[in-house]
């Protein structure tokens, strides 16, 4: 499987935003990787019901994603991966999936979260995962839309701590 | 780049343009025309001319109007009649405006073609939730190859 882009956005499939990423990084499949949603039949069907019409969409757990990635059947398949949190990207990378760059799009604000930018807030667990990704040499970019300027996510994270 | 003018009764156009910018952002050629209670067709035409006068002659212009036959429409068609570079479309909604914005900078696209595309597209912008869920469930049952293994 060839990953066109890996994006973190906890709104997952979210209207025009996702449509634009799919246009900018064309792929045959859109895969939502989330333990939480894959195990919740209601959220799974609702997520699939808002998927763009022109792309095959699936919702899988990180564990299943790791198996699928190595299935020779998908050798030539291109896919966009959509995550809700960095720890699940880390899980894939630790399973040997070659993700070199992560686009950080949206992580909603909540009390007890560290507010980084208008669109991104992180928990302590997220920070640990991001630091680990950074240590592994994964490039982390903050960008809401493909047409926006790229920002170095780790720099912003370090400046706010 | 095709200039887009959204116009309608009250402040609907302002609200729609604000919403579109919230979702779309970026560099847009987009203006909202407000139509207040006491105003009439002549006022609307004046508002339109303020926008049109700032455009280079011959610029393609698309009016997106709320209601067919209302004053914002009746004023716009007086400016559009006989002008191949101006088109007027009614029944504007937010998905339609976003679609128009995503296409306005395509240099190969003429305003008439954009209007035709939007007319077809507008049908697709109406969705009923329970139908969408049903469609998704049917698709999942009938197209097992969509499921990753």
Minimum CA–CA partner of A17 in chain B: B23
Domain extent, residue B18, equals 3-146
Q: Residue B135: its chain A contacts at CB < 8 A?
A: 49
pLDDT digits (tens, 9 = 90+) for A10-48: 999 987 778 889 889 999 999 999 999 999 999 999 999
Q: Residue B105: its chain A contacts at CB < 8 A?
A: none
Q: How many Å apart are CA B86 and CA B91, to the nearest integer?
A: 17
CATH number, position B51? 3.40.50.510
Number of domains present in the structure of chain B? 1
Take residue B138 and report the two structure tokens written for it: 């049917």
Q: How many Å apart are CA A151 and CA B92, to the nearest integer?
A: 36
This complex has an ipTM of: 0.73
- Interchain CB contacts (distance < 8 Å): A and B: 37
Strand order in the sheet with A139-142: A56-60, A29-33, A78-83, A2-9, A101-106, A139-142, A151-152
Nearest CA distance, A53 vs chain B (angstrom): 10
User: DSSP letters along A87-101, please?
Assistant: HHHHHHHHTT----E
- Residue B12 phi, psi (nearest 5): -60, -40
Fold (topology level) of A2-159 = Fructose Permease (3.40.35)
Tell whether the torsion through CA atoms of A133, A138, A88 and A160 is positive or negative. positive
Residue boundaries of the structural domains of chain A = 2-159
Residues of B with CB under 8 A from a CB of A: 23-26, 98, 132-133, 135-137, 140, 146-149
- The residues, ordered by sequence, that sit 6+ positions from B44 with a Cβ below 8 Å of its Cβ are B7, B33, B35, B71, B72, B75, B76
Across the interface, which of A15, A45, A68 has its CB nearest the CB of B136? A45
Full pLDDT tens readout for chain B, 149 residues: 999 999 999 999 999 999 998 887 767 889 999 999 999 999 999 999 999 999 999 999 999 999 999 999 999 999 999 999 999 999 999 999 999 998 998 999 999 999 999 999 998 889 999 999 999 888 877 765 557 87
Catalytic residue list contains A115 = no
Tell whether the torsion through CA atoms of A45, A47, A53 and A58 is positive or negative. negative
């Amino acid at each position: 499987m060839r990953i066109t882009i890996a994006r973190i956005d906890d709104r997952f499939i979210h209207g025009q935003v996702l449509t634009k990423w799919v246009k900018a990084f064309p792929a045959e499949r859109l895969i939502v990787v989330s333990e939480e949603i894959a195990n919740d039949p209601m959220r799974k069907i609702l997520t699939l019901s808002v998927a763009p019409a022109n792309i095959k969409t699936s919702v899988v757990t990180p564990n299943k994603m790791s198996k699928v990635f190595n299935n020779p059947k998908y050798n030539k398949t291109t896919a966009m991966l959509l995550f809700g949190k960095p720890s699940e990207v880390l899980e894939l990378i630790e399973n040997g999936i070659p993700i070199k760059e992560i686009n950080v799009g949206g992580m909603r604000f909540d009390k007890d979260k560290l507010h980084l930018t208008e669109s991104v807030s992180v928990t302590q667990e997220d920070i640990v995962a991001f630091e680990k990704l950074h240590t592994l040499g994964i490039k982390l970019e903050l960008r809401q839309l493909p047409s926006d300027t790229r920002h170095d996510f780790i720099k912003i994270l370090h400046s706010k701590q | 780049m095709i200039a887009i003018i959204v116009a309608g009764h009250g402040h609907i156009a302002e609200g729609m343009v604000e919403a579109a910018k919230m979702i779309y952002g970026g560099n847009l050629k987009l203006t909202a025309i407000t139509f207040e209670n006491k105003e009439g067709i002549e006022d609307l035409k004046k508002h339109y001319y303020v926008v049109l006068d700032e455009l280079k002659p011959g610029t393609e212009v698309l009016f997106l109007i709320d209601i067919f036959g209302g004053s914002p429409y009746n004023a716009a068609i007086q400016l559009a009649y006989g002008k191949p570079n101006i088109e007027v479309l009614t029944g504007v909604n937010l998905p339609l405006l976003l679609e128009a914005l995503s296409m306005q900078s395509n240099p190969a696209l003429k305003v008439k073609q954009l209007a035709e595309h939007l007319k077809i597209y507008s049908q697709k912008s109406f969705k009923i939730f329970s139908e969408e869920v049903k469609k998704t469930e049917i698709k999942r049952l009938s197209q097992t190859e969509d499921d990753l293994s």
